[in-house]
């Protein structure tokens, strides 16, 4: 049953894109971008303890927090800025489509902005993170595991910096 629904949603999203007059190449990019997002989101939702396999099952979990996390994930993993912004554009179209077709109550991409070169070049690596990466490499940990560990650490450090900045604003 979910496969029939997901096929219907994807088919209807495809029709939505065609109604916008997107080129075949853009249509291919939209499908690819959606696939990347869906794979990432399925893993994210599963980390919450919900077993999902399809777009239909993921839709109830879509919100601006998930979208922001995906955006940060792409930045931390050094996805090219143009690719990040194209993927965000795809998600904006998906969100508008889902909202206009009453599959979701609100546009989950409403306040999600594109990234700029300056934001992606912020100093995310610290010497200790580089040392940790080197340690993992010396231990012959897989490149994918190293990338995931470093990404997690960098996300934590950004969160800690944001929390610290918010605390400073409260205390001032």
Please choose, from the candidates 135, 170, 163, the residue with its C-alpha nearest in 3D space to the C-alpha of residue 149. Answer: 135
Which of helix, strand or coil describes residue 56?
Answer: helix
pLDDT digits (tens, 9 = 90+) for 50-65: 888 888 888 899 999 8
pLDDT (0 to 100) of residue 122: 43
Name 31's Cβ contacts closer than 8 Å, sequence gap at least 6: 14
Strand residue runs (E) in 14-139: none
CA separation for the pair 28, 21 (Å, rounded) = 13
- The CA–CA distances, whole Å, from 118 to 1, 84, 86, 114, 158 equal 45, 14, 17, 12, 16
Every domain of the chain and the residues it spans: 2-109, 127-171
- Percent of the chain residues topping a pLDDT of 70: 87
Residue-level pLDDT at 81: 93
Lowest-confidence segment of 26-30, 102-106, 107-111, 114-118 by average pLDDT: 114-118
Q: What per-residue confidence (pLDDT) applies to 53?
A: 86
Q: Looking at the domain covering 2-109, what would its CATH class be?
A: mainly alpha
Q: Which tens digits make up the pLDDT trace of 137-161?
A: 888 888 888 888 888 887 787 777 7
């Amino acid at each position: 049953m979910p496969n029939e629904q997901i096929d219907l949603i994807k088919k209807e999203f495809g029709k939505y894109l065609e109604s916008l007059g997107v080129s075949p190449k853009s249509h291919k990019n939209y499908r690819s971008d959606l696939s990347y997002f869906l794979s990432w989101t399925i893993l994210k939702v599963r980390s919450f303890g919900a077993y999902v396999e399809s777009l239909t099952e993921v839709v109830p979990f879509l919100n601006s927090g998930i979208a922001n996390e995906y955006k940060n994930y792409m930045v931390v993993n050094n996805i090219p800025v143009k690719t990040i912004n194209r993927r965000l554009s795809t998600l904006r179209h998906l969100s508008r489509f889902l909202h206009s077709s009453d599959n979701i109550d609100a546009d989950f991409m409403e306040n999600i902005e594109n990234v700029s070169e300056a934001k992606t070049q912020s100093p995310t690596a610290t010497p200790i993170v580089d040392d940790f990466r080197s340690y993992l490499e010396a231990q012959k940990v897989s490149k994918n595991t190293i990338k995931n560990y470093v990404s997690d650490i960098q996300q934590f450090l950004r969160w800690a910096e944001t929390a610290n900045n918010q605390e400073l604003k409260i205390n001032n």
